[in-house]
């Protein structure tokens, strides 16, 4: 186990009707003038936006709105949010939605007090020294941004997708009502489930020894997600299944299961390139990359893949070699992703085999991964495994 720091200070307010507490929560954390950040249709149509505004009004919190956040959220809306906050002296960001809305709000919160282009922070030209506070209302269990220190933004110029992790990115509060996820399209739910599992697996596959405690916690989350997801997909009003996914999605990415161990993140980085180029949904890009990555790396530590196959996917080891058990686990995972409506190949995700060299070359800093270190030639091999064009 490696030395670590862990601090997940967010106040999680979980359960039915909790969106009615937003106004008092903003007040509790010092907000008086809030910018509500959201995507579009569903937050308005469902009446959620009006409920949140009523709660803010009741608490005496002035509010403005910035709608139009898209999946793979882009820099243009961040610039607009920074301008609105500065011109109107807003002091609190209040995203309603999933990772895209929350990550946009985090970037705005970074950018308002920064005397320069916020993108400098995402390219590491400058460091976040202070940020506006933010709290969120979660409607999509997936990105885990409600509890994480991460934000991922795509710069329109150059189509660059970059993530930034800083402790300023931990929300002050997260309102999590599973009922708000009942109306999610099934495809989006499938993407979310894939994303949260990927967050766990990026931490699970490690070279750090003696991490059995966090292994078991990670497996507990994966098994619970595996069991809850089909229920949630089959019955959009199954409160308990949606509640399990919502809470698991947070735990998957607040680093509970990542402490004290080297983490990987190659599949996310490769997936980001696919999303940036084809606007493939983030979860879908992970469903494409992760099985291919596993097939490429499993021999590096077959025992760990055997543990994954038997403890998470219930693979019966009887009569199988370690290698066969490992492969059966990878296949079980891919079959599960397919059952969620996820793409199996680069092409199904909108990509083309001819782009593979460019995708591989574009990965940040020309390298990726820790479990196995990957450079563009290895990333190309992984993308070929993911492609239909063999």
Stretch that binds a second copy, among 80-88, 150-158, 224-232, 374-382 (CB under 8 A): 224-232
| Cβ at position 209, least distance to a second copy in Å | 8
Cβ distance to a second copy smaller for residue 241 or 363: 241
210 CB neighbour count, 10 Å cutoff? 10
Phi, psi of 33 (to 5 degrees): -135, 105
Residue 51, SS3 per DSSP: helix
How far, in Å, CA of 358 to CA of 377, rounded? 11
- Residue from 156, 213, 361, 389 touching a second copy (CB under 8 A): that is 213
- Residue from 61, 69, 136, 243 touching a second copy (CB under 8 A): that is 243
| Cβ at position 242, least distance to a second copy in Å | 10
| 248 touches a second copy by CB under 8 A | yes
Q: Quick one: residue 303, left, alpha or beta (phi over 0 = left, psi -120 to 50 = alpha)? A: alpha
Residue with tokens 């069991």: 227
Tokens representing 326 are 């490992």
Please give the span between the terminal C-alpha atoms of the chain, in angstroms, as a whole number.
40
| 1 touches a second copy by CB under 8 A | yes
- Residue from 72, 148, 151, 244 touching a second copy (CB under 8 A): that is 244
| 212 touches a second copy by CB under 8 A | yes
Cβ distance to a second copy smaller for residue 146 or 264: 146
Residues 2-31 that bind a second copy (CB under 8 A): 2-18
| Cβ at position 158, least distance to a second copy in Å | 37
- Residue from 54, 223, 353, 385 touching a second copy (CB under 8 A): that is 223
| 216 touches a second copy by CB under 8 A | yes
| Dihedral over Cα of 239, 240, 241, 242: its sign | positive
| 194 touches a second copy by CB under 8 A | no
Cβ distance to a second copy smaller for residue 84 or 220: 220
Taking a C-beta distance cutoff of 8 angstroms, is the pair 75, 153 a contact? yes
Cβ distance to a second copy smaller for residue 51 or 348: 51
Cβ distance to a second copy smaller for residue 17 or 157: 17
- Cα–Cα distances (Å) from 58 to 8, 52, 53, in that order, read 29, 10, 9
Q: 98-137 burial string, b = 16+ CB within 10 Å, else e?
A: bbbbbbbbbbbbbbbebeebbbebbeeebebeebbbbbbb
- Return the H-helix or E-strand segment holding 33: strand 33-38
| Cβ at position 149, least distance to a second copy in Å | 13
Cβ distance to a second copy smaller for residue 248 or 330: 248
Beta strands in 87-213 (DSSP E): 92-97, 136-138, 150-155, 160-165, 173-176
- Residue from 127, 240, 323, 388 touching a second copy (CB under 8 A): that is 240
Judged by the rule CB under 8 A, the positions of this chain that interact with a second copy are 1-18, 209-210, 212-213, 216-217, 219-221, 223-224, 227-228, 239-240, 243-244, 247-248, 256, 259-260
């Amino acid at each position: 186990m490696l030395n670590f720091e862990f601090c997940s200070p967010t106040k999680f307010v979980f359960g039915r009707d909790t969106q009615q507490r937003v106004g008092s929560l903003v007040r509790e954390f010092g907000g008086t003038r809030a910018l509500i950040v959201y995507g579009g249709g569903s937050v308005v149509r469902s009446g959620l936006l009006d409920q949140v505004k009523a709660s803010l009004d009741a608490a005496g919190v002035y509010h403005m709105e910035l709608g139009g956040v898209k999946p793979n959220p882009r820099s243009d809306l961040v610039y607009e949010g920074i301008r609105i906050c500065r011109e109107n002296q807003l002091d609190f960001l209040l995203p309603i939605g999933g990772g895209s809305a929350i990550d946009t709000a985090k970037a705005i919160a970074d950018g308002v007090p920064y005397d320069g282009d916020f993108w400098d922070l995402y390219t590491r030209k400058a460091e976040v020294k202070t940020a506006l506070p933010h709290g969120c209302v979660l409607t999509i269990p997936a990105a885990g941004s409600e509890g994480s220190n991460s934000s991922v933004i795509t710069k329109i110029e150059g189509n660059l997708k970059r993530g930034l992790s800083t402790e300023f990115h931990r929300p002050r509060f997260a309102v999590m009502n599973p009922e708000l996820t009942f109306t999610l399209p099934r495809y989006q739910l499938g993407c979310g489930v894939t994303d949260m599992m990927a967050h766990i697996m990026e931490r699970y596959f490690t070279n750090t020894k003696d991490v059995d405690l966090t292994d078991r916690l990670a497996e507990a989350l994966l098994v619970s997600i595996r069991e809850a997801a089909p229920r949630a997909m089959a019955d959009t009003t199954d409160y308990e299944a949606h509640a399990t996914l919502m809470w698991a999605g947070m735990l998957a990415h607040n680093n509970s299961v990542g402490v004290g161990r080297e983490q990987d993140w190659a599949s996310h980085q490769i997936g980001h390139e696919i999303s940036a180029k084809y606007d493939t949904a983030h979860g879908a890009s992970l469903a494409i990359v992760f099985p291919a990555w596993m097939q490429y790396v499993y021999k590096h530590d077959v025992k760990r893949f055997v543990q994954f196959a038997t403890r998470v996917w219930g693979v019966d080891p009887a009569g199988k070699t370690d290698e066969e058990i490992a492969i059966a686990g990878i296949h079980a995972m891919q079959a599960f992703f397919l059952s969620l409506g996820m793409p199996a190949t680069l092409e199904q995700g909108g990509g083309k085999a001819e782009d593979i060299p460019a995708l591989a070359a574009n990965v940040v800093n020309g390298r990726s991964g820790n479990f196995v270190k990957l450079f563009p030639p290895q990333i190309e091999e992984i993308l070929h495994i993911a492609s239909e064009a063999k």
